A and B are shown apart, each in its own frame.
Chain A
Amino acid sequence: MRDARTVTRSVEALRDVLGADTVLMGDGTAAYRLGGNQPAAVVRPADEADVSRVLAVAFRDGLGVVPWGGGAHQCLGRLPSRYDVALDLCRLNRVVAYEPADMTATVQAGIRLADLQQRLGASGQFWPLDPPLADRATVGGIVAAGLAGPLRCRYGTVRDLVLGVRVAHADGTLTTAGSRVVKNATAYDLTKLYAGSYGTLGVLLEVTLRLQPQPVEERGWCLAGATIEQCHAAALRILGSHLAPNRLELLDTACAERCGISAGASAVVSFAGGREAVRDQGDSLGSVAEERGLRVTEIENPDRVWRALQDFPWPVGDAGRSGAVVAWRGSVLPSDGGKAMQGVRDAASGCGEVAVAGTASHGVLRGTLRASTADLAARGVSALRAALAALGGFLVVTDAPEALRASLDVWGPMPPEVTWMRQIRSAFDAKAILNPGRFIDAI
């Protein structure tokens, strides 16, 4: 039975076992507030045995545990329905094994992506994922939330780039899934299940990553036109050709401006690899652009543009005291990407303003909705969701002011497979202590 006294007793017991350096109570927990809830304790385990002990106690006593990486993406999902312990993995930040010639690395989940990339870069390699807020985000958080960025166009997503994981389950049991080699067909591939599961099936401790060589060169171009649909048509043309962009993003005017591109609705494309290959591909953009009546220019300060595009829709900015900004992501078939981007802009009219970017290869959209009141923002979310649903797609809220987040339908309608998802959740975490209420269907 979980009540305030049990919670206090549990975390005090944990502090006695793990020490006051590992288990913080009181003031130390303020930075871990979520939606007005402050956890009774923040635990910073030094190793996986600590994690196991914390979870065993939490499971026994039914404490709500929120796994915490860099804290960069705690805005995702619904607010946890029970929140007693923040399990901060910042001390689990080592590179466990890295053999450059194998093009794989095994790292602890709490390593920050920026630190990892720096380490890999020294050997001319990188983990080809560029999620938003990469300076703060940790590998564990990125995998748990299934985050990706524009580079997915060429390299895929977490499910393609993680080979194996070590996991602490709700009751403290530690398991391994997948392997440390690049190819594996041994029993169920649970790594896929953990990726994008928001920590509801276990806390990631270690992740084995598939790496790529850093390209020698990278250049970017902007194809600008009157409408987003024109840009979309050009993007589809590129994707169906032999050209191999590593980014191909569609930007509406508002998003383009935020990213430092003042050409209006644009398709932004980058090629990476050997010099000649990059040049040849850049050259061939001319005819694609001309066919669609677009202007093509090379981007002069590509790193800044990539950075802004990677982080978009963050920072979401401010809409004044009474207003609200909601960040969202959505998905449609790639062929409907242009229509969807125009559709959400139209749907927002009367509620607020939209800025939107789309990854052309995957039909994935992300954007902001700025409204002058919280009510209008909520209505806007419904309108945007309906616009994407009309195309067979969906919309998920990824950031919102806390009061609004508590009342919004963050995830939208449930997929039909939710029946099995519910059962899987309870098979892995019978008491629903990990990120309770946060994921779809509040599981």
Chain B
Amino acid sequence: MIVAGPMRGTPVGRFVLRVAAWLPAAFVVWYLAGPVLAWPIALLTSAVARFAFSDVVQAVEQHGHVLTIVSTLKTTIANTTSAGVISVDVDILLYSFGLPMLAALILAARQPHAARRLILAYFVLAPFVTWGLVAEFLKHLVFDTPLGIAAQAGFSPLQREVIAFAYQFGSLILPSVAPAVFWVLTHRRFLESFAGDRT
């Protein structure tokens, strides 16, 4: 079905120019508001990490846009009695750069209820950001710590493969694809005006 809405006849070129115009401002706002935007994501990540990986997660602390995930894995220094636990710093910005891209797309589309779409976008994308953060934490535990320490987590070979895939997918695909998919899904009428436009 082609819907002949008010956006019919909008050239792709003009839309791209509007996206380019919104993008710098969106990136500035996203970067400056990083710690505030990170807070709900930090809460979600803390909940997911503590619930799903309670055996390896001791605490999650937010420091601006960086989360410190403290594990239960103990590390000992040879020939001493010193002991500590492994903690991993993960950067929320690394997994949320799709937010300013999506904001620019939403604002450039000039569709009704843009503010509502922006808020919805944030909460829909938050779980994908959490995916990336938790996967990076697990990747560090499993692949970036000495074997003796990593073994404390008790992950099976299959679980290690799943963690590797989840990390790669969560860092290379989801941060940019999830916002694009959200935009396509929530701007179907706008996209149909493109499909009908031959100007």
Instruction: Tell me, yes or no, whether A binds B.
Output: no
Residues of B within 8 A of A (CB): none
Chain A residues close to B by CB (< 8 Å): none
